[in-house]
Amino acid sequence: MNYYRRFPGDYARDTHTLTLRQHGAYNLLLDYQYAQQKPILSIRQANIICHTDRHDPEGRSNQRAVKFILAKFFILTPEGYWNNRVREEIAYVIKKSEMARNAALAGQKRDRNGTETGQKRDKVATMSGHENIPNSIVFNDSDMRTLSERSAIPDTRFQTPDKPKEREEKPNYAPTAQDEVIPISLWLSFVEMRRKIRKPLTERGGEMIRNKLRWFRDHGADPIEILEQSIMNSWAGVFPVKGSDNGHTESFEERRQRKSQEAISQVRTRIDEVVREVDVTPRLKSSEQRTDRCLHRGLN
């Protein structure tokens, strides 16, 4: 095998306690088994694969790491040391290769049978003197084909061609003349917009929206302008036109001026109230004083 599937999640789960030296030994042994597709015969061979040298200062530590990996992740069989995951992956690759080979052979066989059948048909046409002999006559000849070939090719003589399906027209749910609140062309534009945003309008939904537009009309709003707003913004519903005043949409400057005028009017109203309170207070005090004098004189 020149390559193999590697699953980092499984590897990390099984080897999270290994040291760096042990990781290196484990990967070298895995690569050897995947490449050679055969077991490791002995610990000595495993040391050779991992290039551990007894005379190297780190040689004994490396050999202990190799021995630990063999004991933890490999199984000793009569053939030698095998890793279970390696054996499963090798079996998977062999099975996949076998299936691909069988499919290729089956395709070659079909191509070969088709070529031989075509040659036989041409031969019969030449012998009969008819260059344009129908295919059904040739392929129904039991002498020219085997039973498996006859059952593999369907007989279409008594079959009628399928008629193309007629495209079903989807309803537009246009308003009727009795309850029309908007032009039909505008309503159809709204329905088309709903279809393009992948929220097709149902019959019940169309009736509810028309009722809402009728309610807006009864309360002084323009349903045409409301529906145009929904079409322009690709809204699925209908909503009052923002900043609308008798069909006129306020600009930013107009809205700013209107709010300024409202604020000025509120300030003037408050000033007038304060002035009136200041003017009335002395009068009330003087009237109360006169009333007290009269009462005092009467009592005396």
Q: What is the Cα–Cα distance from 194 to 236, expressed in whole angstroms?
A: 6
* pLDDT score at 290: 60
| 243-296 pLDDT, tens digit each | 655 445 555 677 678 888 888 888 888 888 888 877 655 555 565 666 666 555
Average pLDDT over residues 183-191: 92
CB 13 within 8 A of CB 59: no
Question: Based on C-alpha coordinates, what's the Rg of the chain?
Answer: 47
pLDDT(138) > 50: no
pLDDT(127) > 80: no
CB 66 within 8 A of CB 77: no
Please tell me the least confidently modeled range out of 87-91, 134-138, 187-191. 134-138
pLDDT(298) > 60: no
| 39-81 pLDDT, tens digit each | 999 999 998 889 887 677 788 888 899 999 999 899 999 989 9
Q: What is the DSSP string of 132-175?
A: T--HHHHHT-TTTS-HHHHHHS---TTPPPPPPPPPPPPP--PP
Per-residue tokens: 19: 């040291």
* pLDDT score at 37: 87
For residue 74, CA distances in Å to 34, 46, 54, 89, 183 come to 14, 11, 23, 15, 80
Close Cβ partners of 155 (under 8 Å, ≥ 6 residues apart): 136, 140
In total, the chain counts a number of residues equal to 300
Per-residue tokens: 178: 């009795």
CB 200 within 8 A of CB 194: yes
Q: What is the Cα–Cα distance from 282 to 199, expressed in whole angstroms?
A: 71
Q: What is the Cα–Cα distance from 134 to 93, expressed in whole angstroms?
A: 47
* pLDDT score at 137: 47
Cα-to-chain-centroid distance, residue 91? 35
pTM assigned to the model: 0.37
* pLDDT score at 270: 87
| 251-265 pLDDT, tens digit each | 567 767 888 888 888
| 11-35 pLDDT, tens digit each | 899 898 999 999 999 999 999 988 8
Higher pLDDT, 254 or 96: 96
* pLDDT score at 68: 93
pLDDT band (50, 70, 90) for residue 117:
low
pLDDT band (50, 70, 90) for residue 198:
very high
Please tell me the least confidently modeled range out of 39-43, 167-171, 240-244. 167-171
pLDDT band (50, 70, 90) for residue 209:
very high
Token pair 């202990």 is found at 64
* pLDDT score at 241: 86
* pLDDT score at 139: 45
pLDDT band (50, 70, 90) for residue 231:
very high
CB 1 within 8 A of CB 94: no
CB 165 within 8 A of CB 152: no
Q: What is the Cα–Cα distance from 85 to 30, expressed in whole angstroms?
A: 10
3-state secondary structure of 184: helix
Give the number of other CB atoms < 10 A from CB of residue 247.
10
